[in-house]
Amino acid sequence: MVSNKYMKKYLFGILHILSTKNDTIINITDITGSETISRISSGVVATNGKDKKSNYCAMLATQKVSNVCKVLGINALHIKIRARGGNASHLISTGAHTVVTTLVRLGYKIGRIEDTTPTPTNGTRRKGGRRGRRV
């Protein structure tokens, strides 16, 4: 039998990442998903407007969110990554990958990672016209 001093209790939260081409939005909720604990954008941390999409600003935003989680005792996270979706881009930007690696380096236990990007089921027409975007 393993003694209790070696067993660690995990308090889970849900980390929602919205990753677009120009910004990364991080939102942490409780395990039910109904109560928002902390929310920040990488644009809040950025000094210039062009820095919003950088990996460095995504890392700084993650550190601010993790400070709030440490105070509340959350030490494990389920991650839901979302790209723009719909009839827009389905690509996840590099800011989302930076958020996940920063949380691992900060010592959080990662439970499950899932992609929640919305996919269209024959929705509206895509932008660009009949012959596409002409460069």
Express each pLDDT in 61-72 by its tens digit. 999 999 999 999
Q: Please give the pLDDT value at position 41.
A: 95
- Beta-bridge mates of residue 85: none
3-state secondary structure of 26: strand
Q: What's the number of CA atoms in the CB half-sphere (13 Å) around residue 42?
A: 28
Distance of CA 52 to the CA centre of its chain: 14
User: How many Å apart are CA 16 and CA 27, to the nearest integer?
Assistant: 5
| φ, ψ for residue 69, nearest 5 deg | -65, -40
The residues with which 25 forms a beta bridge, in sequence order, are 18, 41
Whole-number percent of the chain with pLDDT over 90: 75
Report field, pTM of the whole predicted structure over 0.85 = yes
pLDDT per residue over 66-117, tens digit each?
999 999 999 999 999 999 998 888 999 999 999 999 999 999 999 999 999 9
**How would residue 35 be classed by pLDDT, with cut points 50, 70 and 90?**
very high
- CA distance linking residue 36 with residue 34, whole number of Å: 7
Instruction: Provide the CB-side half-sphere exposure for 74 (13 A, CA).
Output: 22
Torsion of CA 45, 50, 55, 59, to 10 degrees: 0
pLDDT of amino acid 25: 96
Q: Which two tokens stand for residue 85?
A: 């979706």
Q: What is the pLDDT at residue 89?
A: 87
